[in-house]
Amino acid sequence: MNTRNPWLAIAAVAALSLGAAACTEAEQDNAQADANEAAADTGQAAEEAGSALKEEAAQVGSAIAAGAGEVAQEVDEATDELAVEADEQKAETKTDTRGN
């Protein structure tokens, strides 16, 4: 260290500090860029997962609708059969009352 000119020592320390700060700033910029990229990747993964879930939900909804339609048709057929049986029972009862 030059004791005759303290300004040279101060300038040297300042230059080293600026160099260290620049290095740290560059590292911070790289870290920020990495963080931004990771955030973008995470957002894309979430979007893809959301799309997959939406597709699966649509398929489940379609399956439920198809099942409900099938059940409704079976109920309709069953009530039609019951109505036919009721009509036959009425006719049989009517015949029985006439015959007695």
What confidence tens digit (pLDDT) does each residue in 1-21 have?
A: 444 566 666 666 666 665 555
Long-range own/partner contacts, residues 85-93 (CB < 8 A, 24 or more apart) = none
Enumerate long-range contacts of 27-30, CB under 8 Å, 24 or more apart: none
- The pLDDT of residue 9 is 66
Is pLDDT larger for residue 17 or for residue 98?
98
pLDDT recorded at residue 24: 75
Residue 92 is predicted with a pLDDT of: 86
The residue that leads in pLDDT, 18 or 47, is 47
Which range of 12-16, 24-28, 50-54 scores highest in mean pLDDT? It is 50-54
Per-residue pLDDT reduced to its tens digit, 54-83? 999 999 999 999 999 999 999 999 999 999
Per-residue model confidence (pLDDT) at position 34: 84
Q: Answer positive or negative: Cα dihedral of 43, 48, 54, 60.
A: negative
